[in-house]
Amino acid sequence: MNLSRLARLAVLTSAITLAATVLSSCGSASPGVAAEVGDDTITTREVDELAADVCTLQEALPKGGANQPQTTSGLVVRDGALQSMILRSIGEQMAADYGFDADSDYEDQVHQTRLQFGGVDEDKVEAALPAYTAIPYFVNIMRQVGETTDNGLSDDQALTAGIKQAQKWQSDHPITTNPMFGSFSIGDQEIESERDDLAFPVSKTARDAESGSADYFASLPESQRCG
């Protein structure tokens, strides 16, 4: 999984159709808190640390390799890090409710992710791994949850059923995010991120930032970019 996929936490899986808009977050978390997900609190420090670990891993990737390092803004990576932590939190809390653990399919995907970063310092890989394995974990747990509704479902049908149960879970476990981050929701096939900014991009620089221009990211000061 490359950095752009992490930043967007894009398609959960190309063959799966999920509920239209499943989980959403809004409101304002307490100072120093990035998000409150049910009974779980995700701090801004935890998000910053994971985002920094992702950038460290990206910078360690060999140029021209299979996992070509990509340049983006620190802001984008922080949003992606928070999204991954929210997904992991939802999955873990629902897994605890149902008495589940992630199964061997998830472990296989974690192993494959490690192999993708073969040759990179193992400590750097392990530190950033939670950001790259959040979607597989969430999908794995949702499939198991879905199977409890009907053991004759296919994997895709079980995931869709699990997402419906996640809707019910979220209605009883509100998710709030700090305004410094985007608001997040799970759409048909993507994790959707949206910022409730009052301003809209007018200048070329602002439009480049909004569109994710590679030239714009490359022009950012080193302290503001990742990769």
Domain-wise residue ranges, the chain: 3-226
Q: Which two tokens stand for residue 28?
A: 């304002």
pLDDT for 177 equals 87
Segments in 63-103 forming alpha helices (H): 74-98
Listed in sequence order, the residues at least 6 apart from 14 whose beta carbon sits closer than 8 Å to its beta carbon are 189
pTM of the shown model: 0.74
Question: Mind listing the pLDDT tens digit for each residue in 82-109?
Answer: 989 999 999 999 999 999 999 999 999 9
Q: What span, in angstroms and rounded, lies between the C-alpha atoms of 79 and 181?
A: 6
Task: Report the 3 state secondary structure along 61-74.
Answer: CCCCCCCCCCCEEH
192 pLDDT above the threshold of 90: no
* Terminal C-alpha separation, the chain: 15
Question: Mind listing the pLDDT tens digit for each residue in 17-53?
Answer: 333 344 555 555 577 999 999 999 999 999 999 999 9
Reported as a pLDDT band with limits 50, 70 and 90, residue 184 is low
- Cβ-contact 182, 23 below 8 angstroms: no
Among all chains, which residue has been given the structure tokens 């009974």?
39
